């Protein structure tokens, strides 16, 4: 029975021979006509067309062809070259350019023997790249003193020692009796004009150097002297005061102007704090000190003095903006009609009683964080005059929300403020905030909602427990007619928070189903 399923042995042997012949013929055909390269092969092994030049798979051959292509400035690739091939070519070009770049960088550090480009007589001992637009790149010792008396912040290097040596502005190069150049100390005045008339005398007063000060710019610390003007007849003396220094963008650290900060330092620090909030003050000052060392200068920058001066500068700038009616906590893209405002709290933003500092009022009191007495008065008014209370169980389906408890008690621990509530727009701009003393009760977001409703026309009010907050708000509004404009806003539950609510709550309060937002807004457009 089993033999009936198999052919005879001779027939099976013939079929095997025939199959072997077919395989052999196919292999011979493949050897005669090789298959075209697949599109999925590595681009390095593919052939690249460069204006009729065919690059082979050998790396050395491709490098030689690319050298000739770069030398003749031929076009890089054809229009149909893929992104991957362009990246391969860019990598090959970078590899070819590395020795050239290293060679050029090392040759740029040579101290060349040049003639002074100002007097065209003496041998140059100073090189200043910042004087290149003035055609005074190479200067002798005398011309250097003459030129950089007015440009004290230029970064100069000495070239007479056989190498490029950065030198501070307090160093000059003089030639001794043997004709050898060497360093000598010089006094640098702060680059600012002296007052024209200081007294009623007819004789012109002489400008001399005053007391030594420190000037901090974005390039580090400099040792300078204040200009001093003295009348030889009546001995009237003039030195620049705070008003004169501020006119030329120098901020004094103290009233005696012992240390000056250029405005660009404070502006750079503000911009860096916005771009990198985790950047510390000490790290920024270390950067300035490193810049000083690179310029051949030394000297530490006091971190505490810098902080105090920076705070005073910010306060002065804020006062100026207030006089100009500039609101720092305002989103220009949301004014005057604000589409959405999101409010949420953080109960673990602790501030302790023992670290409250001085009893002096805050310089920015009420600017962003609302005054505590105003929030407390609003809270007591709502809780004392209204019979509305929030649901204390704080549940929505199987989820339990601690933020929806209106009857939370004040913390009895050593914490002064146990949290913070913040309202932001849909662009993430901070608008308003307040301190927590009783947990995330509903009176806090209601206060922020009232504050923002008076400043702009808000369409949606977003909150993580809006399904509990909005019924409570409707009960409060019934007893306080002045809060009726709050109901003109529409409740909004974000997609992320809606996943923790019930399906019914997600459909009713979710932003995806709100008219003017989500899918409705997309379909309408």
Count CB-CB contacts under 10 A for residue 261: 23
Highest average pLDDT, of 203-212, 306-315, 448-457, comes from: 306-315
Confidence (pLDDT) at 416:
61
Confidence (pLDDT) at 193:
86
For 145-167, what is each residue's pLDDT tens digit? 999 988 999 999 999 888 899 99
| Section 109-119 average pLDDT | 90
| Phi, psi angles (nearest 5°) of residue 167 | -130, 150
Is the confidence at residue 343, as pLDDT, over 80? yes
Confidence (pLDDT) at 505:
78
| Section 94-117 average pLDDT | 90
Q: Which pTM value belongs to this model?
A: 0.70
What is the rounded CA–CA span in Å between residue 276 and residue 299? 26
SS3 call for 405: coil
Confidence (pLDDT) at 492:
86
Confidence (pLDDT) at 501:
76
| Section 203-213 average pLDDT | 84
| Section 77-86 average pLDDT | 66
Confidence (pLDDT) at 309:
94
Confidence (pLDDT) at 185:
92
Give the list of residues 6+ apart from residue 459 with CB closer than 8 angstroms, or none.
337, 338, 339, 340, 489, 490, 516
pLDDT, greater one: 425 or 499: 425
Is the confidence at residue 237, as pLDDT, over 80? yes
| Section 103-124 average pLDDT | 90
Confidence (pLDDT) at 524:
41
Give the list of residues 6+ apart from residue 485 with CB closer than 8 angstroms, or none.
453
| Section 210-222 average pLDDT | 93
pLDDT, greater one: 432 or 413: 432
H/E segment holding residue 126: strand 126-128
Crossing angle (nearest 10°) for helices 83-108 and 59-71: 70
Q: Which two tokens stand for residue 87?
A: 């990246």
For 6, how many CA atoms within 13 A lie in the half-sphere containing its CB? 8
The average confidence (pLDDT) of the chain is 79
Percent of the chain with pLDDT over 70: 74
Is the confidence at residue 36, as pLDDT, over 90? no
Confidence (pLDDT) at 25:
55
Is the confidence at residue 23, as pLDDT, over 60? no
**Strands of the 156-158 sheet, one edge to the other:** 138-139, 126-128, 156-158, 165-167
What is the rounded CA–CA span in Å between residue 338 and residue 335? 6
Is the confidence at residue 347, as pLDDT, over 60? yes
Confidence (pLDDT) at 119:
92
Nearest to 288 by CA among 304, 274, 302: 302
Is the confidence at residue 408, as pLDDT, over 60? no
Is the confidence at residue 452, as pLDDT, over 50? yes
Highest average pLDDT, of 10-24, 38-52, 99-113, 395-409, comes from: 99-113
DSSP for 317-358, please give it: HHHHHHHTT--SS--GGG-SEEEEEEEEEETT--EEGGG---
pLDDT band at 366 (very low <50, low <70, confident <90, very high): confident
Contact 403, 443 (CB under 8 A): no
Confidence (pLDDT) at 288:
95
Is the confidence at residue 396, as pLDDT, over 80? no
């Amino acid at each position: 029975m089993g033999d009936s399923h198999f052919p005879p042995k001779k027939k099976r042997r013939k079929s095997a021979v025939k199959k072997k012949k077919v395989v052999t013929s196919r292999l011979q055909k493949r050897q005669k006509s090789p298959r075209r390269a697949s599109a999925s092969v590595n681009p390095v092994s593919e052939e690249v067309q460069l204006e009729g030049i065919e690059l082979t798979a050998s790396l050395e051959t491709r490098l030689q062809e690319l050298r000739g292509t770069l030398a003749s400035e031929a076009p890089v690739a054809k229009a149909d070259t893929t992104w991957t091939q362009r990246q391969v070519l860019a990598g090959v070009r970078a590899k070819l350019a590395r020795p050239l770049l290293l060679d050029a960088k090392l040759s740029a550090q040579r101290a060349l023997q040049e003639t002074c480009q100002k007097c065209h007589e003496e041998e140059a001992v100073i090189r200043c790249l910042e004087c290149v637009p003035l055609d005074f790149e190479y200067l002798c010792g005398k011309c250097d003193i003459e030129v950089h008396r007015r440009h004290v912040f230029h970064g100069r290097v000495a070239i007479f020692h056989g190498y490029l040596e950065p030198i501070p502005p307090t160093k000059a190069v003089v030639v001794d009796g043997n004709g050898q150049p060497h360093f000598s100390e010089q006094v640098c005045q702060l680059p600012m004009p002296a007052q024209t008339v200081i007294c009623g005398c007819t004789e012109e007063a002489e400008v001399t150097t005053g007391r030594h000060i420190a000037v901090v710019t974005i390039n580090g610390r400099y040792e300078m002297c204040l200009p001093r003007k003295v009348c030889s007849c009546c001995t009237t003396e003039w030195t620049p005061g705070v008003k004169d220094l501020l006119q030329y963008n120098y901020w004094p650290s103290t009233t005696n102007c012992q240390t000056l900060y250029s405005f660009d330092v404070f502006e750079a620090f503000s911009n860096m704090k916005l771009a990198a909030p985790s950047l510390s003050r000490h790290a920024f000052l270390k950067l300035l000190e490193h810049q000083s060392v690179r310029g051949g200068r030394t000297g530490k920058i006091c971190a505490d003095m810098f902080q105090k001066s920076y705070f005073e500068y910010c306060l002065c700038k804020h006062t100026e903006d207030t006089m100009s009616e500039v609101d720092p906590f305002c989103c220009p893209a949301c004014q005057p009609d604000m589409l959405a405002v999101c409010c949420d709290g953080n109960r673990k933003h602790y501030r302790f009683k023992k670290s409250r500092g001085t009893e002096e009022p805050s310089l920015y009191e009420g600017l962003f964080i609302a005054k505590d007495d105003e929030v407390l008065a609003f809270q007591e008014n709502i809780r004392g005059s209204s019979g509305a209370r929030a649901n204390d169980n704080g549940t929505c389906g199987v989820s339990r929300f601690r933020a929806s408890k209106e009857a939370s008690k004040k913390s009895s621990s050593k914490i002064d403020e146990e949290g913070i509530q913040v309202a932001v727009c849909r662009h993430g701009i901070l608008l308003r905030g307040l301190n927590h003393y009783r947990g995330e009760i509903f009176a806090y977001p209601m206060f922020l909602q009232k504050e923002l409703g008076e400043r702009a026309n808000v369409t949606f009010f977003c909150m993580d427990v809006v399904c509990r907050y909005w019924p409570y708000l409707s009960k409060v509004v019934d007893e306080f007619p002045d809060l009726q404009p709050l109901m003109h806003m529409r409740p909004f539950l974000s997609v992320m928070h809606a996943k923790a609510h019930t399906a019914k709550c997600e459909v009713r309060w979710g932003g995806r189903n709100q008219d003017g937002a989500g899918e409705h807004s997309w379909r309408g457009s």
